[in-house]
């Protein structure tokens, strides 16, 4: 690699503002709350904070439905609170990355309110409108959040497209005026001094030239819209235009969220020389434990197959080597908690399992992302009733699969939600053992995980052997040991279904990362490990060589 860019050596900490820290006792996290916790993030050692959307929004999809891109959601505070957060972060050497949602807006955005009024007003073409076909929707495309991706508006006599909720109409990127409006808005935030952007479902912005029916899943009326609209023929052109009009000349960090992107797509969108984005979030490793029945999509409660996981991550490691850049993540606000999902949240295993998963991920090439609470080993919520959930994807899926289609029993679906619902990630941050986990003095908008008296930041920070301090070590290694950033990757023993081992190699150094993914002892010898190798980090107090204990993880350097 030529010169390392700052964002290639950085570690990102994701804050879900609604669930991080409430400062005014209304049960909802807010900007002053985040500001009050900056020292905690600094202590962890992260470089960049990714904030989920904080703009004005009716909150149908927790802020991913933006009604005013130039204003702050009053639930989170004011623009002055934002300016304060940015200044305080910068004072501590922390950068702020904004989440920008420009595949769609809210139906309450003034652009859409105007657009829906008539076929000839200045905003008419800001969204994707089509005439009915034989009295019904133009295509059989089904939204990510269940149901048709089309909704009819009598005032226009037309349908509009929404890849997500009815209240999230897709913006029309074919319209140069809309594109300019997006760039102007991004420049407003650049001028404020933000340090980067996470671009929500950015690979969905270029729609197909012709709208034709897709192949529906067995027994379903709708075809998944994702593959139909992902990675459209003008995506690259739009991203290069965005680069020229917003990003060029600033040293920003950009990451595109790109469901169903392939290596080839990522080499373009996150190419080192393509002038598009710095990196993308790929989804393959997050989709491996989906249901074998396609009509059930992600809803499942089965563990992942380690051989599949290794194969997928390895493909991305070697596939982007030298041409693009990986983002490394286990968790975010859309994914269940990794320690519950790919590790174990049994009290006897949770701490070692969380550290093992951290080792495996942070040892890879790419920019690591930590989602709030991951550094505490926060677990899934283990909700038992439908009324415990708030997330519209979860509620819509339950309604569709249980009530409408009778595809799964209520009990089965509750087990799926407990395993996979996005709300598992969204329960409030667990700060201490006091009421509501120190998140709020009022009843939180979403229940606190019942295990907060045992799993919380205060308890964790008191111990040198904590998951938090383990993450501190990993971050320090990333900052001080170039091979962590630049080293090439080589998988060992691809078919080993219990242990994930790989090498990282630079001109001067080599690392061997060994991770036992099981709750049982394993014996592994690696020829690649010289007797002189030094143990850099491990999640047990001592090293027993080839004998690996449950969820044991180690990094050797030589």
Q: Which residues bind ligand ISL (CB under 6 A)?
A: 61, 64, 101, 144, 164, 200-201, 257, 259, 298, 333-334, 393, 422
Active-site positions read 200, 257
Q: Identify what 334 binds: ligand ISL, Ca ion, none; CB under 5 to 8 Å per kind.
A: ligand ISL
Q: Identify what 24 binds: ligand ISL, Ca ion, none; CB under 5 to 8 Å per kind.
A: Ca ion
Instruction: Single out the residue of 64, 85, 66 nearest to residue 194, CA to CA.
Output: 85
Min separation Cβ 472 and ligand ISL, Å: 27
Q: Which residue lies nearer to ligand ISL by CB, 393 or 552?
A: 393
Min separation Cβ 257 and ligand ISL, Å: 6
Q: Find the binder of Ca ion among 24, 300, 314, 323 (CB under 5 A).
A: 24
Q: Which residue lies nearer to ligand ISL by CB, 101 or 474?
A: 101
Say how far apart CA 553 and CA 558 lie, in whole Å. Answer: 17
Min separation Cβ 331 and ligand ISL, Å: 12
Q: Find the binder of Ca ion among 30, 65, 81, 282 (CB under 5 A).
A: 30
Q: Which residue lies nearer to Ca ion by CB, 51 or 328?
A: 51
DSSP secondary structure string, 222-276?
-EEHHHHHTT-TTHHHHHHHHIIIIITTS--EEEEE-TT--HHHHHHHTBSSSSS
Q: Identify what 201 binds: ligand ISL, Ca ion, none; CB under 5 to 8 Å per kind.
A: ligand ISL
Strand order in the sheet with 95-100: 279-281, 253-257, 196-199, 95-100, 48-51, 12-15, 367-371, 327-328
Min separation Cβ 41 and Ca ion, Å: 19
Min separation Cβ 23 and Ca ion, Å: 6
Annotate 211-223 with three-state secondary structure. Answer: CCCCCCCCCCCCE
Strand partners, 371: 14
Say how far apart CA 56 and CA 432 lie, in whole Å. Answer: 30
Structure tokens at 338: 């990794």
Binding of residue 300 to Ca ion (CB under 5 A): no
Contact call for residues 52 and 12 (beta carbons, < 8 A): no
Tell me which stretch binds Ca ion (CB under 5 A): 21-29, 111-119, 220-228, 367-375: 21-29
256 phi and psi, to 5 degrees?
-100, 135
Q: Which residue lies nearer to Ca ion by CB, 26 or 493?
A: 26
Q: Find the binder of Ca ion among 28, 194, 397, 448 (CB under 5 A).
A: 28
Tell me which stretch binds Ca ion (CB under 5 A): 16-24, 171-179, 202-210, 548-556: 16-24
Q: Which residue lies nearer to Ca ion by CB, 428 or 538?
A: 428
Structure tokens at 133: 């076909």
Say how far apart CA 315 and CA 328 lie, in whole Å. Answer: 13
Q: Which residue lies nearer to ligand ISL by CB, 126 or 164?
A: 164
Q: Which residue lies nearer to Ca ion by CB, 22 or 167?
A: 22
- C-alpha distances (whole Å) from 107 to each of 77, 111, 168, 291, 351 are 22, 8, 6, 32, 44
DSSP secondary structure string, 167-210?
T-PBB-TT-HHHHHHHHHHHHHHHHHT--EEEETTGGGSS--SS
Q: Which residue lies nearer to Ca ion by CB, 33 or 343?
A: 33
Contact call for residues 470 and 555 (beta carbons, < 8 A): no
Q: Which residue lies nearer to ligand ISL by CB, 333 or 355?
A: 333
Q: Identify what 26 binds: ligand ISL, Ca ion, none; CB under 5 to 8 Å per kind.
A: Ca ion
Min separation Cβ 238 and ligand ISL, Å: 18
- C-alpha distances (whole Å) from 11 to each of 91, 253, 323, 361, 367 are 18, 12, 21, 12, 6
Residue where the block lists tokens 């990794």 = 338
Binding of residue 22 to Ca ion (CB under 5 A): yes
Min separation Cβ 282 and ligand ISL, Å: 11
Instruction: Single out the residue of 16, 9, 28, 150 nearest to residue 441, CA to CA.
Output: 28
Q: Identify what 126 binds: Ca ion, ligand ISL, none; CB under 5 to 8 Å per kind.
A: none
Structure tokens at 420: 């996979």
Say how far apart CA 426 and CA 50 lie, in whole Å. Answer: 15
Min separation Cβ 149 and ligand ISL, Å: 13
Min separation Cβ 17 and Ca ion, Å: 9
Binding of residue 81 to Ca ion (CB under 5 A): no
- C-alpha distances (whole Å) from 535 to each of 256, 278, 316, 356, 510 are 35, 32, 27, 15, 12
Binding of residue 334 to Ca ion (CB under 5 A): no
Binding of residue 455 to Ca ion (CB under 5 A): no
Q: Identify what 164 binds: Ca ion, ligand ISL, none; CB under 5 to 8 Å per kind.
A: ligand ISL
Ranked by CB distance to ligand ISL, the top (closest) residue is 64
Tell me which stretch binds Ca ion (CB under 5 A): 6-14, 22-30, 133-141, 195-203: 22-30
Summarize as ranges the residues that interact with Ca ion (CB under 5 A): 22, 24, 26, 28, 30
């Amino acid at each position: 690699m030529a010169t390392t860019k700052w964002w290639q050596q950085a570690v990102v900490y994701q804050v879900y503002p609604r669930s991080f820290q409430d400062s005014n006792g209304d049960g909802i996290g807010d900007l002053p709350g985040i500001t009050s916790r900056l020292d905690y993030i600094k202590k962890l050692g992260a470089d960049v904070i990714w904030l989920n959307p904080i703009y004005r929004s009716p909150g149908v999809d927790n802020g991913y439905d933006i009604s005013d891109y130039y204003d702050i959601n009053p639930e989170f505070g004011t623009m002055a609170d934002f300016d304060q957060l940015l200044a305080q972060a910068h004072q501590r050497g922390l950068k702020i990355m904004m989440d920008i949602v420009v595949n769609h807006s809210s139906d309450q955005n003034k652009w859409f309110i105007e657009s829906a009024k008539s076929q000839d007003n200045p905003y008419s073409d800001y969204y994707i409108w089509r005439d009915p076909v034989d009295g019904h929707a133009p295509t059989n495309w089904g939204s990510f959040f269940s149901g048709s991706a089309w909704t009819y508006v009598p005032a226009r006599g037309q349908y509009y497209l929404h890849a997500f909720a009815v209240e999230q109409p897709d913006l029309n990127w074919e319209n140069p005026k809309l594109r300019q409006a997006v760039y102007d808005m991004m420049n407003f935030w650049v001028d404020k001094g933000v340090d980067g952007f996470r671009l929500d479902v950015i690979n969905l912005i270029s729609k197909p030239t012709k709208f034709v029916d897709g192949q529906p899943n067995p027994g379903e009326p709708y075809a998944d819209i994702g593959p139909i609209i992902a990675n459209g023929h003008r995506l690259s052109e739009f991203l290069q235009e965005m680069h020229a009009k917003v990003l060029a000349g600033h040293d920003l960090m950009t990451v595109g969220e790109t469901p169903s992107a392939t290596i080839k797509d990522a080499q373009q969108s996150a190419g080192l020389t393509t002038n598009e984005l710095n990196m993308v979030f790929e989804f393959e490793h997050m989709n491996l434990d989906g249901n074998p029945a396609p009509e059930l999509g992600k809803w499942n409660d089965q563990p992942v197959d380690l051989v599949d996981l290794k194969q997928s991550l390895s493909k991305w490691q070697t596939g982007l080597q030298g041409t693009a850049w990986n983002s490394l993540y286990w968790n975010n606000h859309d994914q269940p908690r990794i320690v519950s999902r790919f590790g174990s949240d049994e009290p006897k295993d949770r701490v070692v399992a969380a550290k093992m998963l951290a080792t495996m991920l942070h040892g890879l090439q790419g920019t690591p992302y930590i989602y709030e609470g991951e550094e505490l080993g926060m677990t899934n919520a283990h909700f038992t009733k439908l009324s415990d959930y708030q997330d519209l994807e979860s509620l819509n899926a339950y309604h569709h699969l249980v009530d409408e289609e009778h595809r799964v029993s209520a009990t089965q679906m509750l087990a799926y939600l407990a395993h996979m619902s996005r709300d598992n990630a969204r329960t409030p941050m667990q700060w201490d053992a006091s009421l509501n986990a120190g998140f709020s003095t009022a009843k939180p908008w979403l229940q606190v995980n019942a295990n907060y008296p045992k799993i919380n930041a205060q308890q964790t920070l008191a111990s040198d052997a904590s998951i938090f301090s383990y993450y501190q070590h990993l971050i320090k290694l990333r900052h001080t040991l170039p091979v962590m950033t630049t080293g090439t990757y080589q998988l060992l023993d691809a078919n080993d279904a219990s242990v994930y081992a790989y090498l990282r190699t630079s001109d001067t150094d080599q690392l061997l990362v060994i991770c036992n993914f099981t709750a049982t002892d394993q014996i592994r010898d690696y020829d690649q490990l010289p007797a002189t190798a030094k143990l850099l980090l491990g999640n047990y107090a001592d090293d027993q060589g080839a004998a690996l204990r449950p969820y044991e993880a180690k990094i050797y350097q030589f």
